[in-house]
Chains A and B, each alone.
Chain A
Amino acid sequence: MAKNILGKFTQAIVDLNLEQALNATKEALEAGVSPYDIMEAMRGASNTVGQKFESCEYFISELVIAGTIMKAASDLLKPHLSSGQIKYKGKVVIGSAPGDLHDIGKNLVAVSLLGAGFEVVDLGIDVPADKFVKAAGNERPNIIGISALTSTTMMRIGDVIEALKSAALREKVRVILGGAPLTKEFAEKVGADACAKDVIDGIKICEGWVSTRTG
């Protein structure tokens, strides 16, 4: 029974059907399915959506919609989850580089990470280096994600990484970069650990890191 409902829930997310996904969430909760199992099913759905993006069956619009549905389902689950019991894959602090006010891509990454099972702390746009440092200290994330859309603002990413080094926090986190002009070479040059070519690539890199950590 639970398996059927969860199957329906997963399928509704993959099919981008908001109404069915929310109905299946309610149905599952009423049938006594553990909200943690529902979250786990959502991670599976998120993975399938990612695969469809990689195989060019889905595009940015579909990632946005899947994100909207997963966020709505998470909101339904929230009252049933006791904090501390949720098993996140890891914690990501994410924000746009200092001076960069773009957030469409960054928001998409944040919601997709959430769907994939990460705890996400979104610092917003134009995040100064010291705000990243403060969040790295207070939130104790596994990963820091920095986004930049322009070749000008990407040059400020180095400042963030230097600030993390000065605060002796760089060794405690992995740093991933994302945004159109960024390259692996640039990431290496400024001392980041990786550069994601798109949303799904970014999630895979983060998953790889946390599985290495726990495994």
Chain B
Amino acid sequence: MSWMMKQSYFNLKHYLHLPIFFKEIDYWPGGMHYTSWWTTPIDERIYRRFRIDFRPLSIRLPRPFVPQKLFPDNSFIDECGFHRKAGELYLEFANPAPLEHMDTVDEILNDPYWPDPEKDRSVESLDRKAKRLDEGGYAACCVAPMGGPFETSWQRRGFNKFVEDMYFRPHIAKTLLDKATKLLIQMYGMMLDQIGDYCTLVGVADDMGAQTSGLLSPKTYREFIKPRHKQIYDFIHKKTAGKIYLHSCGDVEMYAKDYIEEGVDVLNPVQPECPDMRLPTLKEKYGDKLTFCGGISSQRILPHGTTTDVEAEVIRVIKEGAAGGGLIVAPGHIIQPDVPPWNVCALYDSVIKHGQYPIKL
């Protein structure tokens, strides 16, 4: 199951005649974050209806979410130290970024809004849940506790400013990346010490692509980001036999070889709208090293197509990616607010209908 935006999730529940629980409702529109339980509380009956056997587990906030700082325009500093503002449908990054106007390493490191995982995160009872899932035959998936070092750095510093740092102030860029890497390793350590033995997948997330191009040149990526990714993934590998599942949006084919060298096993979301993310090519080039999760058009077919279009899209993805295994059919991103529930049903029903091995398409 992919993440779902609240609106599409509630529409789906209504469509399936399922009640909405109070614990599923919170104030912020968003991809199911900012709840004290952190991971998506998707109704078990929906998982079963769609025969999904992945179950998310992650670090939580120990207390109900309270902004670290609230500004007069209702924007706020969130639990990761990002400046956010609730729009009509999404929780967006707001300007200025919290560290945008800082000039020195000391100022950046002493910023009070960096999360302190020991104090601000909890893994209480995670082991019991993981054990229960494992014994029930489910695939326990450790969800990324925060974006990767690149995302975290630019979300704290501002996108343009952080890109400029990498070119003009590399010591600042490295300070930010190292701080984010340290925090991530600390949080993965807390989680995997509890659930490492039960994990099928361990999620990591660092968006490196725009729609038609990579965000960073391969040279910049290899100099600044790759060593930190490797450091985090090596740490995870030491803690668990689970596979590394990387969420990296956009046109990221140019980094695929680097991802493999870093130790990534599964690549998500394989957006079909991106010119270099065609499944047949990806399978041919990297199919022996990477499993692909995603492939279904989230920008075009799911929100705007008919149920017949959705079924055709599922058939296309299965035909292109299922041979020899290594495919998890899923939306090419979070299911957006405007995706009608019948298309969500068409997606998973079509996977059940056409996705059983041996594939007969």
Contacts and interface: CB of A to CB of B under 8 A. Distances in A.
Interface of A: 16, 18, 53, 56, 58-62, 64-65, 67-68, 99-105, 107, 126, 150-153, 155, 180-181, 183, 197-198
Given A68-B160, A107-B160, A152-B338, A99 B215 contact: no
A60 B214 contact: yes
Interface of B: 85, 87-90, 92, 94-95, 159-160, 163-164, 166-168, 210-217, 220, 254, 273, 298-300, 303-304, 336-338
A141 B163 CA distance: 31
Given A56-B213, A64-B159, 10 more contacts: A61-B217, A64-B160, A64-B164, A101-B87, A101-B94, A150-B90, A150-B336, A155-B338, A183-B300, A198-B210
B93 to A, nearest CB: 8
Contact of B163 (A64, A100, A181): A64
A49 to B, nearest CB: 13
B74 to A, nearest CB: 13
Given A107-B160, A152-B89, A62 B273 contact: no
A151 B217 contact: no
B213 A59 contact: yes
Interface residue SS majority, chain B? loop
Contacts of B85: 101
Nearest to A155: B338
A65 B89 contact: no
Contacts of A198: 210-213
Contacts of B214: 59-60
Given A150-B90, A150-B336, A181 B215 contact: no
Per DSSP, are chain A's interface residues mostly helix, strand or loop, or mixed?
loop
A61 B166 contact: yes
Nearest to A178: B211
Given A68-B164, A151-B304, A58 B88 contact: no
B84 to A, nearest CB: 10
> Lowest 4 CB-CB distances: which A-B pairs, in order?
A181-B299, A101-B92, A180-B211, A151-B303
A18 B94 CA distance: 27
B215 A197 contact: no
Contact of A65 (B164, B210, B215, B299): B164
B217 A59 contact: yes
A33 B55 CA distance: 66
19 contacts: A56-B213, A60-B210, A60-B214, A65-B163, A65-B164, A65-B167, A67-B160, A99-B87, A100-B87, A101-B85, A101-B87, A102-B92, A107-B160, A151-B298, A151-B300, A151-B304, A152-B337, A181-B273, A198-B212
A59 B87 contact: no
Contacts of A103: 95
Contacts of B168: 18
B213 A152 contact: no
Given A64-B163, A107-B160, A99 B216 contact: no
B211 A61 contact: no
A76 B193 CA distance: 55
B223 to A, nearest CB: 11
B300 A99 contact: no
B300 A181 contact: yes
B299 A151 contact: yes
A151 B336 contact: yes
Contacts of B338: 151-152, 155
Of the candidates A53, A61, A181, A197, the one having the most CB atoms from chain B within 10 angstroms of its own CB is A61
Contact of B217 (A62, A68, A105): A62
Contacts of B298: 151
